[in-house]
Amino acid sequence: MFPWLAFGHILPFLQLAKIMAKKGHKISFVSTPRNIDRLPQLPPSLITFVKLPLPPVDGLPTTAEATTDLPPNQVQYLKKSLDLLQQPVTQLLGSLRPDWIFYDFAQYWTGPIAAQLGIKSSFFSICIPAFLGFLGPPSVLIDGGDYRKKPEDFTVAPNWVDFPTTVAYTYYDIKNTFDCVEDDASGVNDLIRIGLSARNCDVVTVRSCSEFDSDWLRLLDNIYEKPVLPVGQLPPPPPAAEADPTAWGSIKEWLDEQGSGSVVYVAFGSEAKPSQDQLTELALGIENSGLPFFWVLRTRRGESDPDEIELPPGFEERTRGRGIVCTSWAPQLRILGHDSVGGFLTHSGWSSVVEALSLRRALILLTFYSDQGINARVLEERELGYCIPRDESDGSFTRDSVAESLRVVMVSEEGKIYRDRAKEMSGLFGDRGRQSRYVDNLLAHLLNNE
Considering the domain architecture, whether residues 48 and 125 belong to the same structural domain is answered as yes
Q: Regarding predicted confidence, which is higher, 242 or 265?
A: 265
pLDDT at 178 over 90: no
| Three-class SS of 35-64 | HHHCCCCCCCCCCEEEECCCCCCCCCCCCC
Indicate whether 354 belongs to any domain.
Answer: yes
Considering the domain architecture, whether residues 258 and 398 belong to the same structural domain is answered as yes
Residue pair 123/201 in contact by the 8 Å Cβ criterion:
yes
pLDDT at 179 over 80: no
Give the mean pLDDT of 360-386: 95
Considering the domain architecture, whether residues 227 and 272 belong to the same structural domain is answered as no
Considering the domain architecture, whether residues 27 and 91 belong to the same structural domain is answered as yes
pLDDT at 131 over 60: yes
The per-residue pLDDT for range 238-256, each reduced to its tens digit, is 776 545 566 788 999 999 9
Indicate whether 2 belongs to any domain.
Answer: no
Indicate whether 237 belongs to any domain.
Answer: no
pLDDT at 242: 46
pLDDT at 413: 96
Residue 353's closest CA among 326, 330, 371?
371
CA distance 4 to 31: 8
Q: Regarding predicted confidence, which is higher, 299 or 228?
A: 228
For the four alpha carbons of 150, 151, 152 and 153, in that order, the dihedral sign comes to positive
The per-residue pLDDT for range 83-128, each reduced to its tens digit, is 999 999 999 999 999 999 999 999 999 999 999 999 999 999 999 9
Range of 284's domain?
Answer: 245-429
Considering the domain architecture, whether residues 253 and 162 belong to the same structural domain is answered as no
The per-residue pLDDT for range 206-227, each reduced to its tens digit, is 999 999 999 999 999 999 999 9
CATH number, domain of 135, equals 3.40.50.2000
Residue ending a domain, among 196, 231, 266, is: 231
Domain count, the chain: 2
Considering the domain architecture, whether residues 343 and 273 belong to the same structural domain is answered as yes
The rounded mean pLDDT for the chain is 93
Considering the domain architecture, whether residues 220 and 108 belong to the same structural domain is answered as yes
Please list, in sequence order, all residues whose beta carbon lies within 8 angstroms of the beta carbon of residue 262, skipping any fewer than 6 positions away. 291, 292, 340, 342, 410
Considering the domain architecture, whether residues 284 and 387 belong to the same structural domain is answered as yes
Entry field: residues in the chain: 450
Residue pair 140/146 in contact by the 8 Å Cβ criterion:
yes
| Reported pTM | 0.95
pLDDT at 418: 97
Residue 125's DSSP bridge partners are 206
pLDDT at 181: 56
Considering the domain architecture, whether residues 256 and 136 belong to the same structural domain is answered as no
Indicate whether 335 belongs to any domain.
Answer: yes
Residue pair 351/11 in contact by the 8 Å Cβ criterion:
yes
Considering the domain architecture, whether residues 161 and 272 belong to the same structural domain is answered as no
Indicate whether 36 belongs to any domain.
Answer: yes
Instruction: State the DSSP string of 364-405.
Output: EE---STTHHHHHHHHHHTTSEEEPP--TTT----HHHHHHH
pLDDT at 300: 81
Residue pair 270/297 in contact by the 8 Å Cβ criterion:
no
The per-residue pLDDT for range 288-300, each reduced to its tens digit, is 999 999 999 988 8
CA distance 222 to 209: 17
pLDDT at 169: 95
The per-residue pLDDT for range 313-370, each reduced to its tens digit, is 999 999 999 999 999 889 999 999 999 999 999 999 999 999 999 999 999 999 998 8
pLDDT at 183 over 70: no
CA distance 173 to 394: 9
Q: Is 361 helix (H, G, I), strand (E, B) or coil?
A: coil
CA angle 385, 126, 58 (to 5 degrees): 115
CA distance 8 to 12: 7
Q: Regarding predicted confidence, which is higher, 43 or 50?
A: 50
pLDDT at 182 over 70: no
Residue ending a domain, among 169, 196, 231, is: 231
Considering the domain architecture, whether residues 329 and 227 belong to the same structural domain is answered as no
Please list, in sequence order, all residues whose beta carbon lies within 8 angstroms of the beta carbon of residue 397, skipping any fewer than 6 positions away. 278, 281, 285, 366, 388, 389, 390, 391
Considering the domain architecture, whether residues 123 and 226 belong to the same structural domain is answered as yes
Indicate whether 92 belongs to any domain.
Answer: yes
